[in-house]
Structure 1
Amino acid sequence: MKYLIILFVVALALAPLTHFLPSKRQRQLARLREYAAVHGLFVEFRNLPGAREGERAEQVIYYGKRLPASRGEPRRQRAWIGGAGHWRGAGHRDPVPTATEGFPAQILACSEDEGSCGAYWKEDGEEADVAAIVAALEAWSGVEKAA
């Protein structure tokens, strides 16, 4: 009986510590972000492009690939909204980058600015989706280097 009471008291004392253990979703996000970082991307919160004036911009996750500094004229800041093959320019009529063909269907938007090119999404995928994002951004930045 004494051992049962001791075991109960120890379990009661350790129970609050379980709140500090990461959930299944938190572990999955950590794996996705680690995979992206190991393959040369950076991850940050950004406003989803294309919000109309007066609307509150939605914050989503941006997986970006750093671009080398442009020589001469700086790159224009451009964004495309869509996904799953239905892309449109956000406030411009520039052609959609061919790299968007490699994005998984979960991608909400993509953009290019002076420092990076990247994809916006809600991280509702697997490592294979991050691998597709890495490949697409590598292709995009490769085209940028050649230009």
Structure 2
Amino acid sequence: MNWEDDSFRPNKEKATKKYIKNEIMNYYLLKERWYELLDKGFYLYQKSPGGSLVKMPEGQCSKDGIQHKAVMNESEMNVMQEPLLKRMEKIRNWMDCLTKSQCKVISVYVMKYQCDNLHEAALETGFSEDTVNKYTKRAIDRIYSKNSNIL
């Protein structure tokens, strides 16, 4: 079978729901990466520019200055942070359409435990394991139905 075979048609709904679940699972990783970039940007601004009274050589290019580097680093940080912010905002919007119980289950079972430890998630949420599974499925179905432009 050729991997580019046109006769193969995946189930779009199933694939989209899997995408939703994976994005929700990655929320804390996105948030952690965003904070790392934020800390890196803050560190760059805390560097002292120096304070030499020595005159710069005549051939010195202004692009070598610390101010120019700081502006360039800031724009690089913004470019790197923007996609992360968009993805995190998208996930927050998805969570806003859920009921309180579904939100609790999703945040504990899917985000925190990464769909691995059903028993611990059930204990933490106060629901039975079966209820945690049902709420997870219903929450993903609800996100899928409420958001027509997910991909």
Answer whether TM exceeds 0.5 for this pair: no
Q: Which structure has the bigger radius of gyration?
A: 2
Higher relative contact order (CA 8 A, sep 6+): 2
TM-score (norm 2): 0.31
TM-score (norm 1): 0.31
